[in-house]
Amino acid sequence: MGKITGFMEYERKVDPYAPVEERLKNYKEFTKPLSEKAMKEQGARCMDCGIPFCHSGCPLGNLIPDFNDAVYRGKWDKAAEILHATNNFPEFTGRLCPAPCEEACVLGINEDPVSIENIEKHIAETAFAKGWVVATPPETRTGKKVAVVGSGPAGLAAAQQLNRAGHLVTVFERDEKPGGLLRYGIPDFKMEKHVIDRRLEILEEEGIEFRCGVHVGKDVAATDLQSDYDAILLCGGATVRRPLPIPGADLDGVVQAMDFLGQNNRRVDGIPFKGKELSAKGKNVIVIGGGDTGSDCIGTSFRQGAKSVSNFEILGKPPAGRPEDQPWPFWPMRLRTSSSHKEGAERYFSISTKEFKGDGDGKLTGLVTVEVEWEKVPGQRPKLVELKGTEKEWPCDLALLALGFTGSEMSIADQLGLELDPRTNIKASVSDYQTNVPGVFAAGDQRRGQSLIVWAISEGRQAAHHVDSYLMGSSELPLKGEGDLPRI
């Protein structure tokens, strides 16, 4: 284990943030890395518990106490090997994961948990800086061809695993560049895009082919992929956006969050974008929806020069601490405050938007809300009740709809005759990730619905194992938590 008394000697620390005034000047990441000495101390806080609950908290089954110990001992190469054994892209999760492992950390029962996510980022960055992350193409090829549709974290993880098994992998991506929501959803201030590019270079060097600007189901029929490839893995994400069908929703100034974020990420990257220019500059912005997407809209609006930014959430304000009915080591629904929230947004909970108001010329000028309560009905979902007399009108020139996603797009499913689950995701069981059509598999948000990067990587790895088994009769690709060959 790390240092036996480490958890008593050292306090939890994570990379500090640059001050708000400084970080709002650009779209760059704004964390200032802790020193190596400080990181070793953070690794030393791990107690190497008999039953490491953090393992089961992590959807990848990352071998957390092992890499913490290696960091404490300054064996960064060993730490990188351990980490990459279960996680293809720790540089993504080390920056962006909400770290369910930390909620399951035993130290977290009565102290601050080990700063696992931050340690992960430092290991990944050290590995890249030292040149340890290199392409390791397979020694032999199987002659089998696999088409992966979608290049988000699920598609990329699956592609790397399938390529390692020796299959020829082509990744189809309709966007200009690979990365999925990592590139065209999540803003650069959370993860600069060169972090994706350096990983893509390695994947290409390993032999994975990327075909960007190809929309499967439109530019290429999904049935053509069936004839040209031995297996298809669908990792197209949960891309259908939830609308807000209230009066005034078609006014100029009511914008889907993904249009706003996707455009800004393209602007930062210096690549042309389609559609009308969207900007928060000088505007009263209201972001409707309190999740990750909403938070990213807040940070982007501030960087664009918004006059004010408010954030509405229809659910009630969660408690600051762990609720009693969500005990350790489970993921608790408690108040989370992102770096973007801290940049000056006003947050409102238990509030529902009823109507958008215009200037008579089609332009948004405000919106009307009502306060709500969630009534508990035994045996049923809580019921939304509007509180009489609480209507309020707010000035607003830009309303960003960050209401989540309702499931998978249908074109490929229709062309291949795929079954859907009740939430309009592609139906495929976690036992083998196979759809109702033999040889067609699904993983990531397109299978499980909108979720997290860590789950997408985990599903991509699991699905790759099952695709490999389908093609070869068995597979040596690791399943969750098993780790694979110690390659980086």
Ligand X SMILES: Cc1cc2nc3c(=O)[nH]c(=O)nc-3n(C[C@H](O)[C@H](O)[C@H](O)COP(=O)(O)OP(=O)(O)OC[C@H]3O[C@@H](n4cnc5c(N)ncnc54)[C@H](O)[C@@H]3O)c2cc1C
Sites of contact with ligand SF4 (CB under 6 A):
58, 60, 62, 64, 87, 93, 97, 99-101, 116-117, 120, 454
**Nearer CB in complex with ligand SF4: 239/295:** 295
Q: How far apart are CA 440 and CA 226, in angstroms?
A: 8
Q: How far apart are CA 364 and CA 153, in angstroms?
A: 36
How many residues are present in the chain? 488
Least distance to ligand X, CB of residue 463, Å: 11
- CA 13 to mean position of chain CA atoms: 23
Least distance to ligand SF4, CB of residue 241, Å: 26
In the list ligand SF4, ligand X, none, the entry touching 264 (Cβ below 5 to 8 angstroms by class) is: none
In the list ligand X, ligand SF4, none, the entry touching 85 (Cβ below 5 to 8 angstroms by class) is: none
**Nearer CB in complex with ligand X: 236/329:** 236
Largest Cα separation within the chain, whole Å, is: 71
Least distance to ligand X, CB of residue 389, Å: 35
**Nearer CB in complex with ligand SF4: 326/429:** 326
Least distance to ligand X, CB of residue 96, Å: 4
Least distance to ligand X, CB of residue 72, Å: 27
Q: How far apart are CA 488 and CA 306, in angstroms?
A: 42
Q: How far apart are CA 426 and CA 444, in angstroms?
A: 10
Q: Which residues contact 375 (CB under 8 A, 6 or more apart)?
A: 382, 383, 384, 385
Least distance to ligand SF4, CB of residue 382, Å: 28
Q: How far apart are CA 47 and CA 4, in angstroms?
A: 7
**Nearer CB in complex with ligand X: 444/478:** 444
In the list ligand X, ligand SF4, none, the entry touching 462 (Cβ below 5 to 8 angstroms by class) is: none
Least distance to ligand SF4, CB of residue 47, Å: 16
**Nearer CB in complex with ligand SF4: 100/299:** 100
In the list ligand X, ligand SF4, none, the entry touching 60 (Cβ below 5 to 8 angstroms by class) is: ligand SF4
**Nearer CB in complex with ligand X: 98/207:** 98
Q: Are strands 392-395 and 284-288 parallel, antiparallel or unpaired?
A: unpaired
In the list ligand SF4, ligand X, none, the entry touching 114 (Cβ below 5 to 8 angstroms by class) is: none
In the list ligand SF4, ligand X, none, the entry touching 366 (Cβ below 5 to 8 angstroms by class) is: none
Least distance to ligand SF4, CB of residue 97, Å: 3
In the list ligand X, ligand SF4, none, the entry touching 200 (Cβ below 5 to 8 angstroms by class) is: none
- CA 286 to mean position of chain CA atoms: 23
Q: How far apart are CA 342 and CA 461, in angstroms?
A: 35
Q: Which residues contact 439 (CB under 8 A, 6 or more apart)?
A: 226, 230, 231, 232, 470
Least distance to ligand X, CB of residue 50, Å: 29
Single-letter code of the amino acid located at 348: Y
Q: Which residues contact 15 (CB under 8 A, 6 or more apart)?
A: 31, 32, 33, 34, 118, 121
**Nearer CB in complex with ligand SF4: 101/400:** 101
- CA 278 to mean position of chain CA atoms: 24
In the list ligand X, ligand SF4, none, the entry touching 261 (Cβ below 5 to 8 angstroms by class) is: ligand X
**Nearer CB in complex with ligand SF4: 64/165:** 64
Decide: 464 and 179 in contact? Cβ < 8 Å: no
By CB under 6 A, name the binding residues for ligand X: 96-98, 149-155, 172-175, 180-181, 185-186, 215-217, 235-237, 239, 261, 292-293, 296, 412, 444-446, 451-454, 456
Q: How far apart are CA 268 and CA 356, in angstroms?
A: 30
**Nearer CB in complex with ligand X: 107/157:** 157
In the list ligand X, ligand SF4, none, the entry touching 456 (Cβ below 5 to 8 angstroms by class) is: ligand X
User: From residue 49, how far is each of 65, 73, 81 by CA, in Å?
Assistant: 8, 18, 21
Question: For residues 235, 196, 454 and 182, what is the CA-based torsion angle, rounded to 10 degrees?
Answer: -70
Decide: 246 and 356 in contact? Cβ < 8 Å: yes
**Nearer CB in complex with ligand SF4: 116/251:** 116
228: left (phi over 0), alpha (psi -120 to 50) or beta: alpha
The three-state secondary structure class of 320 is coil
Least distance to ligand X, CB of residue 466, Å: 16
Q: Which residues contact 324 (CB under 8 A, 6 or more apart)?
A: none
